[in-house]
Amino acid sequence: MGAKEYMTMMSDYTKCTYGSMKNQINMRDDHGVLSRKTGKAVLNANDHKWQENILGYGMCSAFCDDNNEYAQLINSAQQNGNRFVRPRVKCVCHARTEEAWRDGDKHFVIEGAPVLTKESTLECRWGGVISFCDPPKPGDDDVPQTMGEKAAGAIAGVASSLKKETEAIKKSLTKDNTK
């Protein structure tokens, strides 16, 4: 039996069953234990808090799943004429992870909580299950992007469109001049 692989801050990726993208786990303050493999801080079961550890998984589709209990509650409320109920559409992920990670290594405890392994899972109040996964590859749809990367992509798209339009105008002018 080989050594267990322990999950670390900002190097191992996670995904949610209802999320649209993968992301990494963050920590404001580490627990004082670093991985030999990555040199990054090792995560424990208590690293599950929204915005402190969990930064979100893009767009959440939990409320679009007919089998999700919260979607069923929304349907019921809407059918009973409650017009103040949120619509059943994808929304920005706001993971509600009120309990600690499960399936950590109970033989390796940091600050009173088991260390996270590749098999560890975390439940979101909205029904999603968060687990560790392979990092995104270039071209994947679920690659997290910074605001700068998103802006650069948008600018590149506009520049490409302008270039095509400029070429079309040049062709049009060239045809007019040859007549």
Global pTM exceeds 0.85: no
C-alpha closest to that of 59 among 154, 131, 147, 142: 142
Q: Collapse the DSSP code of 92 into the 3-class scheme (helix H, G, I; strand E, B; otherwise coil) and give the result.
A: strand
Give the pLDDT score at 167.
84
Give the pLDDT score at 47.
96
Number of helices (H), then strands (E), in the chain: 2, 8
CA distance 44 to 35: 12
3-state SS string for 132-165: EECCCCCCCCCCCCCHHHHHHHHHHHHHHHHHHH
CA distance 95 to 62: 11
pLDDT band (50, 70, 90) for residue 67: low
